[in-house]
Chain A
């Protein structure tokens, strides 16, 4: 199993290199350091000297790929490509525009992000599976029909509406929890409660509808008829036979997003003032802090690739037909 995982991770390496090259091209070739400087300093009355100074402060004054004026290995390493892109592989993200170390920021902001994302993920799956099984159990009845109607309407409402509506109702009208903010430690529960609730509710529509389709597809299979022909009760058929098979696509579909939980939620974190990685990214985009945005893009793709590897591994755990080979 270890050998399999190692090999899978090695396969992932070329993908990561590709992501890195594309990021490099987007951030330094399409959008040159001069453009970045102009955007940061303001388009009006910017002098060439100011641009050069801005670039030199951040190390963007080097050549892109090949530094002819440096000595020895410096010809390769003393370039933007090496300093800004290759170093990402070592998770050396450099400093943000405000001078803080990006890696340090990421590590400290991961905790609030996870405090929000993990409950949303786990409770979300439990709620969606329960709702979907209810609809599947009462398939082709009014419960199923109105369940689907409810799911589709919930799907059609924007997450923003849930956030703002939830804040208005729960925090402002009922004054149950703070409207936004965050405090570390146990106190965080008070602040995370509402965002978790809203995260789960906004996911029900799409999730439950999809899981219902998975359940119904499994319920049409021959082995379900066999189970009924054995004299098993419908609940036994559903929980023992259908659930176990339906969990294969559901679990493996969910596993791929687990690593991305670290990235936090862009919307919820900004609206609730939670100092996680999601709000970090949004703030960096607004402040046009390219170093941070680049780091987050790279981190996101890295975690996505980890998610794909985890998916492959999870298949072998839940489906006896798939084995490491």
Chain B
């Protein structure tokens, strides 16, 4: 395999919140290969979106990236001057945000907002820009694209706004598309359409995609590889199939245990006891130790196994027990549990479809 497109290592981002410093990202590292979809899953506040914003150096004003490396195709983004960084944003790396309703400028037409990217990164102006913008809107499935260019975002429905956002994001023909919970604000049928659109566009253009979500169903459907975030750190990185068959970290396992399915109907869902620890102090050991029922004494001191950069692997009894329990299950028999699927299709095995 050739060198990955994006290589993130040791990324730490802190937020100043009054007195205390919140370590929103702590030593995060992962890679995204060319044409690959890497999904980051995690609960709210685990640092998923902060990872995305840190890659683009768009962290909020209270935040700063204190350490780490973001290597995009051999270029270190964190040491680029701001002017050079602006040629990366929108051109080599673009992003789709969670709320299409507020992420589009309400007083500029959709055409103007797409045209801005075309002018900035493609040197297109006037008629050429307009024609290209219409093509882009058409390619994200908006009918009558030529006419809708002059519409304002409020004249678009929620799903169409997100399609317009996607058109804007791909206008610069980026190598990496970051999709930060692209379907969270949309209803389920629109979710499926938008995900399908993203997958098609990615295959057509050979883009890499960093998909951020809290929905394991979307991960199963879209991702090649998965990273699980907890309390500002990646606790597990795995291939999608391996992850769904045998999650390594006790936190990942508990996530699956908390999923509703048919066999649990009528009963109480498994919840993880306790709360996410405060991120104001550094963690000497595993950050999940207080809530883990498999924790060993060494968990409080040591976390790394050194095999996967950036991911804090479990060193407690948890990993062994998980493996022992899952070992007898024959491969190919499908996942042990039904996963929620936005499109209602079966989730058994297989890489996500490529091309069409």
B47: Cβ under 8 A from any A Cβ: no
**Are B61 and A229 in contact (CB-based, < 8 A)?**
no
Report A207-232 residues with CB < 8 Å from chain B CB. Answer: 221-223, 225-232
Given contacts A231-B87, A232-B116, contact A226 B108 (CB under 8 A): no
Give Cα distance in the complex from A233 to B94, angstroms.
Answer: 15
Report B169-224 residues with CB < 8 Å from chain A CB. Answer: 172
**Are B89 and A241 in contact (CB-based, < 8 A)?**
no
Q: Which residues of the other chain, B, contact A52 by a CB distance below 8 angstroms?
A: none
**Are B120 and A232 in contact (CB-based, < 8 A)?**
yes
**Are A229 and B94 in contact (CB-based, < 8 A)?**
yes
**Are B90 and A230 in contact (CB-based, < 8 A)?**
yes
**Are B97 and A222 in contact (CB-based, < 8 A)?**
yes
Contact of A320 among B56, B87, B90, B154 (CB under 8 A): B154
Give Cα distance in the complex from A241 to B102, angstroms.
Answer: 13
Mark A301-325 against chain B: 1 for CB-CB distance below 8 A, else 0.
0000000000000000011110000
A95: Cβ under 8 A from any B Cβ: no
Given contacts A230-B90, A231-B87, contact A320 B152 (CB under 8 A): yes
Report B62-120 residues with CB < 8 Å from chain A CB. Answer: 83, 86-91, 94-95, 97, 99, 102-108, 116-117, 120
Given contacts A231-B89, A245-B106, A321-B154, contact A226 B97 (CB under 8 A): yes
Q: Which residues of the other chain, A, contact B83 by a CB distance below 8 angstroms?
A: 233
**Are B89 and A319 in contact (CB-based, < 8 A)?**
no
Contact of A232 among B56, B86, B95 (CB under 8 A): B86
B291: Cβ under 8 A from any A Cβ: no
Give Cα distance in the complex from A225 to B58, angstroms.
Answer: 8
Query: Nearest chain-A residue to B85 (Cβ)?
Result: A231
Shortest CB distance B130–A (Å)? 18
Contact of A140 among B61, B103, B105 (CB under 8 A): B61
Contact of B104 among A139, A223, A233, A320 (CB under 8 A): A223
**Are A241 and B108 in contact (CB-based, < 8 A)?**
yes
**Are A225 and B116 in contact (CB-based, < 8 A)?**
no
Give Cα distance in the complex from A125 to B312, angstroms.
Answer: 56
Give Cα distance in the complex from A319 to B218, angstroms.
Answer: 37
Give Cα distance in the complex from A320 to B156, angstroms.
Answer: 13
**Are B105 and A227 in contact (CB-based, < 8 A)?**
yes
Contact of B103 among A225, A233, A320 (CB under 8 A): A225
Mark B41-71 against chain A: 1 for CB-CB distance below 8 A, else 0.
0000000000000001010010000000000
A244: Cβ under 8 A from any B Cβ: yes
Give Cα distance in the complex from A320 to B154, angstroms.
Answer: 9
Most chain B beta-carbon neighbours within 10 Å: one of A139, A223, A230, A245: A230
B121: Cβ under 8 A from any A Cβ: yes
Given contacts A222-B99, A225-B58, contact A231 B120 (CB under 8 A): yes
A86: Cβ under 8 A from any B Cβ: no
Give Cα distance in the complex from A151 to B209, angstroms.
Answer: 48
Q: Which residues of the other chain, A, contact B90 by a CB distance below 8 angstroms?
A: 229-232
Query: Nearest chain-B residue to A233 (Cβ)?
Result: B86
**Are B105 and A245 in contact (CB-based, < 8 A)?**
yes
Q: Which residues of the other chain, A, contact B107 by a CB distance below 8 angstroms?
A: 244-245, 248, 318-321
Give Cα distance in the complex from A228 to B117, angstroms.
Answer: 11
**Are B154 and A231 in contact (CB-based, < 8 A)?**
no
Shortest CB distance B133–A (Å)? 13
B168: Cβ under 8 A from any A Cβ: yes
**Are A221 and B56 in contact (CB-based, < 8 A)?**
no
Q: Which residues of the other chain, A, contact B86 by a CB distance below 8 angstroms?
A: 231-233
**Are A226 and B105 in contact (CB-based, < 8 A)?**
yes
**Are B116 and A230 in contact (CB-based, < 8 A)?**
yes
Give Cα distance in the complex from A279 to B105, angstroms.
Answer: 46
Give Cα distance in the complex from A226 to B90, angstroms.
Answer: 10
Shortest CB distance A250–B (Å)? 13
Give Cα distance in the complex from A72 to B222, angstroms.
Answer: 89
**Are A223 and B105 in contact (CB-based, < 8 A)?**
yes
Nearest 6 pairs of A and B residues by beta carbon? A231-B90, A231-B89, A230-B90, A222-B102, A223-B105, A231-B86
Q: 13 A–B contact pairs at CB < 8 A?
A: A140-B61, A222-B99, A222-B103, A223-B102, A223-B103, A223-B106, A226-B97, A226-B165, A229-B89, A245-B105, A318-B107, A320-B107, A320-B154
Interface residues of A (CB under 8 A from B): 139-140, 221-223, 225-233, 240-241, 244-245, 248, 318-321
Known interface pairs A223-B104, A233-B83; 19 further A-B residue pairs with C-beta atoms within 8 A, sorted by A's residue number: A140-B61, A223-B106, A225-B103, A226-B103, A226-B165, A229-B89, A230-B117, A230-B120, A231-B86, A231-B89, A231-B90, A231-B91, A231-B120, A232-B86, A241-B105, A245-B105, A320-B106, A320-B107, A320-B152
